[in-house]
Structure 1
């Protein structure tokens, strides 16, 4: 059984809820009067729990198989977003969205471990798994914005339905995994070699820098473009550009190698992010798309590079590259919101330009994993 399509569908479902949180932001501003700092705190809630808990799940999946985490975590992610829209206080909203982040944290390490086994180490197949998550991000504003525009935040409980459907779709892949090899065999499937912690640490910092700029854009680009339909279009362009970037990154990596592709992507991201801030009117949409493509081209490459830098700890590598390092960018979102309130939103977004530059500089210190068998 080819489990990658089912795992990709599950990845799309759970990452829909990561994209749903930024899509909620304009409605939280319009219906509840939240300011920039308040809504950036909601975005922080979605990422903080992932940042803290995801490495723990990664360590656990290196020791034990826990495929049951996949459907459970999907439902938790959906239930948190659904509850966040109808919570009657800021604290309860924050806690509900944090619960959603916990579900996302539990999902990624185990699903990436299964995807690694199902893909037999193929970077192309892993890119399809990553693409599923990107498409989930892209579909969030298309699903969330029309629903809430018609019926308001009170309609948010309906947002749990994709989680239930996604959990059902992934059950055959989970059953196939349960019938497959044990945890020891699963851990032996990745390419053998020594764990290269220095390179993995630098890669993690690259992903953190990428996360800061991407989470900052996803949290505020809808408001920057005027909210409403214009804001929804901006989010869709941002998220859909990620799908293009994921596919493009896999193709370029096959030709040029993963590290070189990553360097080129971050070099291109610097002027693209600058264009979002500097381009007038509708031209900004072009640079939003370019930024997303450039920031997502190395996304699946981060995952396979991390797993190859830590071949003995695939779950840990997956938890960090798909979770912690990505989520930690949300920790910077309140600072972006504070700059926006102290100055302007344009000034706050301009501060993001430095982060792809830092990612490019650090990526220049990385080399392709040696992948030598351990002695």
Structure 2
């Protein structure tokens, strides 16, 4: 018994370097994506953009990366694409150069598409790397991976303060360093990943020829699984709308409602995103102990009272409350991916693409809708509307339990 526990522990330690490496690449990838919202206040002035045009920039980024993610995931479930990892980062590198030199709004949108395509290729394959490296601790492994991504996203306000305010639009050229470093790390991970893919395909082929394969197909086609997957995507969709409202437009609300400068308005947004990094990690760890469904219910529905009071707070309370809100909302971020993989064990790429891809693409529609609403009704009404979105999380109670009875 002791020997088996030691072997399991050694196996977990053996994949930790891979897990941390892919988490680092996730940080670099999402840092490049964070360049786009970080530039919003700069682009609004330099290119004379309206709020709805700002929303369209976010829409093109998120829709390109999001809609393509389940497509790439479904395809790679049937035919592995390990070499696409560095190729995707190459596309993001081109996008960074394009943003730095874009002279007009439409050129900017084209550059954003390249970043979105690179992200769409990376995320399903990155989640598969994590799936192989997780051992028996899928919640922990996915949380480490998502911590990297959320940490990269949280850099947006800091990049605005220290790079884009002094350097302007050209400061996006620094993103090419992120892409180059990510490509180097991925080239180091590829040999291990290719070996694990070969083992996985052999095991899947053996199961498909026997009873185990038919059991997986029956489980995936079960109406209860379909309902759970649809409900999960809907919940992530609602969370994405709220996240878009805070990360994209709350900085403008702070300027308008509290009279803050561009630099000052970045601090609460940074606190929200940075606390979300901690929430992402602890959410995955706690999910291994208390269950995936329980953490999803807590993360979305538990944020409701905090979100409802945020637009009405005095400025000095905004800072601690928005940090707490970020922690709670994003504590279920990685858990949603693991829950989707629990529902679709034979289609890891598609499951990851649906939860981190398509659902966020639907959230991108929310970014445009919120931008248009802000132009028409004003930011105060938009922020008030957003505060009710986490209430949708109460529907998570209907999800089937992942715990064995």
| Shared fold (TM-score, shorter chain, > 0.5) | yes
Residues 285 and 149 from structure 1, CA distance in 2 versus in 1: closer, same or farther, beyond 3 angstroms?
A: same
State the TM-score, normalized to the length of structure 1.
0.92
Q: Identify which range, 147-156 or 36-45, moves more after superposition.
A: 147-156
1:66 paired residue among 81, 87, 97: 81
Cα drift, residue 102 of structure 1: 1.3
- Residue of structure 2 in register with 1:251 after alignment: 285
- Structure 1 residue 163 corresponds to structure 2 residue 179: yes
Residues 21 and 297 from structure 1, CA distance in 2 versus in 1: closer, same or farther, beyond 3 angstroms?
A: same
- Residue of structure 1 in register with 2:105 after alignment: 90
Q: Number of paired residues?
A: 371
Calculate the aligned-residue CA RMSD, in Å. 2.3
Residues 352 and 231 from structure 1, CA distance in 2 versus in 1: closer, same or farther, beyond 3 angstroms?
A: same
- Structure 1 residue 273 corresponds to structure 2 residue 307: yes
Q: Identify which range, 111-120 or 301-310, moves more after superposition.
A: 111-120
CA distance in 2, matches of 1:71, 1:368: 37
Please identify runs of 4+ aligned residues in structure 1 that moved more than 3 A.
Answer: 185-193, 369-372
What does 1:116-195 correspond to in 2, within 5 Å? 116-122=131-137, 123-182=139-198, 184-185=201-202, 193=216, 194-195=219-220
Residue 9 of structure 1 contacts residue 170 of structure 1 at CA under 8 Å; is this kept in 2? no
Structure (1 or 2) with the larger CA radius of gyration? 2
CA distance in 1, matches of 2:352, 2:328: 21
Residue 304 of structure 2 contacts residue 387 of structure 2 at CA under 8 Å; is this kept in 1? yes
Cα drift, residue 343 of structure 1: 2.0
1:217 paired residue among 236, 246, 253: 246
SS at match of 1:180: helix
- Structure 1 residue 40 corresponds to structure 2 residue 55: yes
- Residue of structure 2 in register with 1:364 after alignment: 397
CA distance in 2, matches of 1:260, 1:300: 13
Cα drift, residue 144 of structure 1: 4.6
CA distance in 1, matches of 2:147, 2:237: 20
Cα drift, residue 99 of structure 1: 1.8
2:335 paired residue among 287, 301, 311: 301
Long gaps (5+) in structure 2: 1-13, 256-260
Can you list the C-alpha shifts for 1:338-357, whole angstroms capped at 9, x where unaligned? 22111221211111123211
Residues 270 and 82 from structure 1, CA distance in 2 versus in 1: closer, same or farther, beyond 3 angstroms?
A: farther
CA distance in 2, matches of 1:11, 1:33: 32
2:371 paired residue among 337, 351, 356: 337
Cα drift, residue 302 of structure 1: 0.4
Long gaps (5+) in structure 1: none
SS at match of 2:401: coil
Residues 189 and 346 from structure 1, CA distance in 2 versus in 1: closer, same or farther, beyond 3 angstroms?
A: farther
State the TM-score, normalized to the length of structure 2.
0.86
CA distance in 2, matches of 1:76, 1:276: 38
Can you list the C-alpha shifts for 1:299-335, whole angstroms capped at 9, x where unaligned? 1110110001011111100111121112320111121
Can you list the C-alpha shifts for 1:196-234, whole angstroms capped at 9, x where unaligned? 222111111111111111022111122222252112212
- Structure 1 residue 101 corresponds to structure 2 residue 116: yes
Residues 277 and 188 from structure 1, CA distance in 2 versus in 1: closer, same or farther, beyond 3 angstroms?
A: farther
Q: Identify which range, 137-146 or 322-331, moves more after superposition.
A: 137-146
Residue 55 of structure 2 contacts residue 371 of structure 2 at CA under 8 Å; is this kept in 1? yes
Q: Identify which range, 312-321 or 266-275, moves more after superposition.
A: 266-275
Cα drift, residue 36 of structure 1: 0.8
- Structure 1 residue 31 corresponds to structure 2 residue 46: yes
CA distance in 1, matches of 2:378, 2:350: 39
Cα drift, residue 106 of structure 1: 1.1
